[in-house]
Amino acid sequence: MRILVTGGAGFIGSHLVDKLMANVHQMKRMRYISGQSQEWIGHPRFELIRHDVTEPLLVEVDCIYHLACPASPIFYKYNPVKLPFSQTRLQLRQNVIGTLNMLGLAKWVGVRILLTSTSEVYGDPLEHPQKEEYWGNVNPIGVRSCYDEGKRVAETLMFDYHRQHDIEIQIARIFNTYGPRMNIDDGHVVSYFVAQALR
């Protein structure tokens, strides 16, 4: 099986790549986009593709895991309007254009796509616990809104492609994840608590 993982060098993506590579008997080739990890380079079933998800990509794959997204709350607040490297622009481009490109690829090759999303799509929820049907209570103009809104748009695009093009989709709303390779200074609540406990 030829599996494409975007964001494969990120915190969650690198663990997914490791898990998939550990089960190489199920795979012909592994691809992932971007990143710094050198661990699998040279493996006969691994192919590193250095590619910006905001640009179209045409490759033959059997499955897509779309994890590419800068997800650090610290960076959402840092200089949000300075171009060309603003986090707002990067968030929206990767979440919206990147998702459109991966959906286009999924449509072109006729494969299933999984998008990693976040509990931030619920915003500051008025309902606890949140059901998947809950639409949320998001502040669209807040300091961190570029992340929330980018993921909400990405989820909308996934469902639009499913309805219009019958693409098989999956969305995983992952949040408060921690473990090895976690950036302890990225501004997430769990990493903040760990950092405070270690200091």
Q: Any idea what the CATH number is for the domain that residue 157 is in?
A: 3.40.50.720
Under DSSP, is residue 114 helix (H, G, I), strand (E, B) or coil?
strand
Q: What is the mean pLDDT of each run of 10 residues along the chain (199 residues)?
A: 90 90 64 62 83 91 92 66 58 89 98 95 88 86 84 97 98 87 73 75
Instruction: Provide the pLDDT for residue 83.
Output: 45
Instruction: Provide the pLDDT for residue 171.
Output: 98
**Which listed residue (65, 76, 147, 161) is catalytic?**
147
Q: Domain range spanning residue 103?
A: 2-198
Instruction: Provide the pLDDT for residue 30.
Output: 57
Q: Which residue has the tokens 């949000």?
A: 80
Strands of the sheet with 29-33, listed across from one edge: 46-49, 29-33, 2-6, 63-66, 112-117, 169-173
Q: Which residue has the tokens 């490759």?
A: 59
Q: How far apart are the first and last CA of the chain?
A: 45
Structural domains of the chain, count: 1
The reply to whether 134 belongs to the active site is no
Instruction: Provide the pLDDT for residue 25.
Output: 47
**What does pTM read for this prediction?**
0.87
Residue among 98, 114, 92 at smallest CA distance from 162: 114
